[in-house]
Structure 1
Amino acid sequence: MSVTAGGLLVAAPLFLLAWFLADAIWPEVLSSRALYSILYLALVGSVIGFAMYFYVLKHVEATRVALITLITPVTALLLGSLLNGESIG
């Protein structure tokens, strides 16, 4: 867990620096849907997701846990299609 936290502490400022150097602008208004999406990704996608992944990794064989990384993108595509009306393909 500390390796992941350390990586995020290094990566986040570098992403912000790259964003700043690319002359990106900060949006003046965020829709509630965008704000909820950001909060969901921060809480569920990062904090809870990593905690659950490492919990499962402690209790299940690593070969079985590796399947989670294969299932996650497919699940994200299906959820985006079903809940957000996104097209697949």
Structure 2
Amino acid sequence: MTATKTITVDQLIAEYAGPIADSVGLTATDYDATAGGLTNLLRDAADRLSSMDQTGEWLEEAAAELDAIARLGDGGPKTQELLKSIDSTLYEAKSDLELC
């Protein structure tokens, strides 16, 4: 049996906050290193993109899922499921922004 990878909000912040912020002219350190801070950064980044941009939709989706995590609380299989979804979504968004 293989161990499943556990994802944390801190890992998401470390992996994605800086590159996404830099891509749209924001500064990641202007935001709290919390789920709420990442949510705000993602929404601000999405606001800087065209409303027709798929990347903006991904950022909004990830922000909404981070809000759901705040409601669920820490831990548990539902939270981990959401964190994995956020990780995947932010990976796509970051990759897309790097191409611009």
Same fold by TM-score greater than 0.5 = no
Larger Rg: 1
Task: Flag the structure with more relative contact order, 1 or 2, with Cα contacts below 8 A and sequence separation at least 6.
Answer: 2
| TM-score, scaled relative to structure 1 | 0.31
| TM-score, scaled relative to structure 2 | 0.29
Q: Which has the higher helix share?
A: 1
